[in-house]
Amino acid sequence: MSRYTLEEFLEATRQTDRQQGFFELENSRLLELNLGAPSMPSEAWIKAGAMVGYTGQVRFTREGLLEQGVGNLLKKAVSGEGARLTKAQGVGRVYLADAAKKVTILRLEGEAIYVNGNDLLAFETPIRNEIKMMKRISGLLAGGLFNVRLQGSGLVAITTHYDPVTLCVTPGCPVHTDPNATVAWSGTLEPTLRTDVSLKTFFGRGSGDSIQMEFDGEGFVVIQPMEEVYFQSGA
């Protein structure tokens, strides 16, 4: 067969059902949700705007104003699109992606994890979610101070630019990260923001990034090898 034919392209890119479960990696950057299949749930929370295709009978509903309580409502009002969710319900396959970022599936078994709101792609509906806002210097990192705390049992899909790296945090040995490169961390940790804003920083002679997240205690932090760029919606 000659190369570069349409038939060859279709065969190489054809969707394949690996029957791996409710959340399935179609490839490293595309997540498939198998809604309503035998023994599969019929709904999931997904990041607003992350659906790139679907088959079957599926409807999409934006998260209700008071669905997660008044506290979450107020935080969503100022956190931008990264923290907004849509519920996918029905029977069919839904394909999710976010700016061609790499997708990783995690299974929670009663644990809690924090995920940067911009890096949360999807999660099962039994998992409780709550937006957390870092209170200090909230005006300096537009969109980057809002994180989602997930707790319960079920599947979670997160996204990263390229391969993530996990750093271990132990008592007395804090870990410092760039907020825009920080993807997730264990629910046992409460980060604080450290600032090193000086005149030298503005002239490019600072010792490093002027704002860092500090994690102290026992747990883990997931970072990515690229700083996230946040876009605030004007809608």
**Between vectors from CA 189 to CA 153 and to CA 66, what angle results, nearest 5°?**
55
pLDDT band at 162 (very low <50, low <70, confident <90, very high): very high
Q: What is the pLDDT of residue 165?
A: 94
Fill in the amino acid letter for 8. Answer: E
Exposed, middle or buried, 167 (CB in 10 Å: 0-12/13-18/19+)? middle
Question: For the whole model, what pTM was predicted?
Answer: 0.83
Mean pLDDT of 2-17: 80
User: How far, in Å, CA of 113 to CA of 1, rounded?
Assistant: 50
Lowest mean pLDDT among 99-108, 205-214, 221-230: 205-214
Residue 67: pLDDT band (50, 70, 90) is low
Question: What SS3 class is residue 134?
Answer: coil
Distance (Å, whole) CA 160 – CA 137: 25
Q: In angstroms, rounded to a whole number, what is the distance separating the alpha carbons of residues 213 and 174? A: 10
- Structure confidence at residue 28 (pLDDT): 95
pLDDT at 226 over 70: yes
Q: What is the rounded average pLDDT for all residues in the chain?
A: 82
What's the pLDDT tens digit per position in 175-219? 999 988 999 999 999 998 887 655 445 545 444 457 889 999 999
pLDDT at 80 over 60: no
Phi, psi of 196, rounded to the nearest 5 degrees: -140, 55
Tell me, rounded to whole angstroms, the distance of Cα 210 from its chain centroid: 24
d(CA 118, CA 115): 8
Q: Per-domain residue ranges for the chain?
A: 19-223
Q: Where does 19-223 sit in CATH, by number?
A: 3.60.160.10
Residue 111: phi and psi, rounded to 5, are: -80, 175
With contact defined as beta carbons under 8 Å apart, do 80 and 146 qualify? Answer: yes
Q: What percent of the chain has pLDDT over 70?
A: 76
How many angstroms separate the CA atoms of 35 and 56, rounded? 9
Distance CA 178, CA 229 (A): 12
Distances from the Cα of 50 to the Cαs of 56, 102, 140, 201, 214, in angstroms?
Answer: 18, 13, 27, 37, 30
The pLDDT of residue 199: 46
Q: What percent of the chain has pLDDT over 90?
A: 58
What phi and psi, each to the nearest 5 degrees, are found at residue 129? -125, 140
